[in-house]
A and B are shown apart, each in its own frame.
Chain A
Amino acid sequence: MYSKISDFVGAYTHESQTTARVLDALTDASLGQEKTEGDWTAGTHAWHIASTPYQITNQFGTEIAAVDKPETLTAKGCADEYRRSSAAVIDAIRAKYTDADLSTEVSAFNYPMPLGVWLNMIVNHEVHHRGQLSILMRQAGLSVPSIYGPNKEETAKYVAEQGAAAH
């Protein structure tokens, strides 16, 4: 639950920079990495991350242009679409709502909740799928940029520099 629009904007601006960095680390070859056989791939996750925020806010009445999933998904296509859609969501929320609106119930997918709860859900939903994607990226042999602290390579470098004794 957010009580101020600026709290959502601050949090989502920060998280979306991280998400964009993660998507930038994808390669076309990695998009087919499967969770389990026949299940979502890295590409499915990446496109879902790019599309969901505006699909949710459009349900409350933001009018952000929908973009169809391309026949052939590319890593750059996912990252570009994410940058467009996340910036559009931030702009639309800032333009359309005030702090007082955050306690008003809005309905997305027939599920009514206060707007401030929905906005937090948008952020958490993205963090959830970004976490899933990070596993598939590792399994595809990619490095994953740091998300909430040093990544594996940064940690290893730090430990090497400090010496095992300092640990």
Chain B
Amino acid sequence: MYNKVDDFVNSYSHESQVTANQLDSLTDTSLNTPKAEGHSSLGQIALHIAQAPIQILNQHGLGVEDKPVPEPLTAKFIADEYRRTSAAVIAGVKEKWNDAQLHDTANIFGMEMPLGKWLSALEKHEVHHRGQLSVLQRQAGLPVPSIYGPNKEQTDAMIAAGTMPGQNNPGGDSSQSAQG
């Protein structure tokens, strides 16, 4: 639940930079990587990340137009579309709603929750699928930029340099583990 428009804007501005950065690392050939037999592909998940922000808030009057998806889908379209939709969400939320309105009930996809909860769900939904995408990216042989801390290559470098937090105290008291 967000009680303040600023809290959402600050948080989502940060997360959406991370997401945009990650989408930039996709390649056209990676888009067909499957999750598992019969499941969504990497490209479908990435496109869902790009479209969901406006699909959710358009249900509550955001009023941002969909863009036709090109055939074949390209990595550049996904990254550009995500930048457009996430920026439109940040600008739209700032412009259309105030702190008090975050407590108003919003009916989105037939489900009623306060708007402030929907904004939190929008962010978490994206983080969830971004996490899924990161696994498929690795499986497609692509690098994944750091998300909530060092990525695999940065971690390997820290371990090699002996600067990984907790490295000298494996499994030990976590209150001391960051001082390494």
Chain A interface (Cβ < 8 Å from any Cβ of B):
1-4, 7, 10-11, 15, 35-36, 39, 51, 54-55, 58-59, 63, 66, 68-69, 108-110, 116-117, 120-121, 123-125, 127-132, 134-136, 138-139, 141, 147-148, 152
Contact = CB atoms under 8 A, between A and B. Distances in A.
Given A4-B3, A54-B174, A66-B174, A136 B128 contact: no
A132 B131 contact: yes
Contacts of B29: none
Given A121-B148, A128-B148, A135 B171 contact: no
Interface stretch (B72-80, B87-95, B116-124): B116-124
Given A35-B135, A132-B131, 12 more contacts: A3-B7, A36-B138, A116-B7, A121-B148, A127-B127, A127-B128, A127-B131, A128-B128, A131-B129, A131-B132, A134-B128, A138-B35
Contacts of A125: 148
A87 B152 CA distance: 30
17 contacts: A1-B11, A10-B1, A35-B135, A35-B138, A35-B139, A51-B174, A58-B174, A63-B175, A68-B172, A124-B127, A128-B130, A128-B131, A132-B134, A135-B35, A135-B132, A138-B39, A148-B125
Interface string B157-180: 000000001000001111101100
A152 B35 CA distance: 12
Nearest to A70: B171
B10 A1 contact: yes
B164 to A, nearest CB: 11
Contacts of B129: 131
- For A36, A68, A109, A135, the residue with the greatest tally of chain B CB atoms inside 10 Å of its CB is A135
Contacts of A152: 39
A132 B132 contact: yes
B147 interface: yes
B20 to A, nearest CB: 16
Contacts of A55: 174, 177
Contact of A109 (B39, B139, B165): B165
Contacts of B174: 51, 54-55, 58-59, 66
